[in-house]
């Protein structure tokens, strides 16, 4: 029983450390430079808001989303967002969803943090840049 409680505490502590690290990275958000590799477009983590759907529809696109309950998701083709071109870039860049514009930065309880995911090469650059005090670009 004690061991379970200890593991729970340790896990909680890990979450806090990861979250605080993400907040620290988000503090330096202006140094983040997306490499447009398109890796984030291949994952099923791209949940749109209704406003995004309306904006993209207004731009003339149809049949690009699925609605699950109150959630909107980009349709996928060949394991990627339907709007992602073969070689990586987005084909609706100007009207893409807010989550696409902001990735990998999110807000939780009003606090912005960077989701430190290994598939985003720009996060590694950001970390190096922050570590070097902005000397590495």
Chain positions contacting ligand SF4, by CB under 6 A? 34-41, 46, 74, 81, 83-84, 90, 92, 96-97, 100, 103-104, 119-122
Could you give the CA distance from residue 99 to residue 97 in angstroms, rounded to a whole number? 5
Minimum separation from the CB atom of position 121 to ligand SF4 (A):
5
How many Cβ atoms are within 10 Å of 80's Cβ, its own excluded?
Answer: 18
Quick one: 53 or 90, whose CB is closer to ligand SF4? Answer: 90
Query: What radius of gyration do the chain's Cα atoms show?
Result: 18
Minimum separation from the CB atom of position 76 to ligand SF4 (A):
9
Quick one: 23 or 53, whose CB is closer to ligand SF4? Answer: 53
Closest CA relative to residue 94, chosen from 55, 120, 65, 62? 55
Minimum separation from the CB atom of position 70 to ligand SF4 (A):
20
- Both tokens of 122, joined, read 């720009």
Quick one: 19 or 39, whose CB is closer to ligand SF4? Answer: 39
Minimum separation from the CB atom of position 11 to ligand SF4 (A):
27
Mark out the alpha helices in the chain (DSSP H runs). Answer: 2-27, 50-58, 98-102, 121-131
Q: Which residues contact 107 (CB under 8 A, 6 or more apart)?
A: 113
Quick one: 23 or 90, whose CB is closer to ligand SF4? Answer: 90
């Amino acid at each position: 029983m004690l061991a379970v409680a200890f593991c729970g505490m340790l896990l909680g502590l890990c979450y806090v450390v990861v979250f605080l690290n993400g907040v620290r990275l988000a503090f330096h958000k202006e140094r983040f430079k997306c490499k447009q590799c398109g890796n984030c477009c291949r994952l099923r983590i791209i949940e749109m808001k209704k406003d995004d759907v309306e904006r993209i529809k207004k731009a003339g696109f149809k049949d690009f989303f699925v609605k699950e309950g109150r959630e909107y998701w980009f349709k996928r083709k060949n394991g990627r967002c339907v709007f992602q071109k073969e070689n990586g870039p987005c084909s609706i860049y100007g009207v893409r969803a807010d989550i696409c514009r902001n990735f990998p930065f999110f807000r939780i309880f009003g606090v912005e943090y960077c989701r430190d995911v290994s598939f985003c090469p720009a996060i590694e650059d950001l970390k190096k840049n922050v570590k070097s005090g902005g000397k590495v670009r």
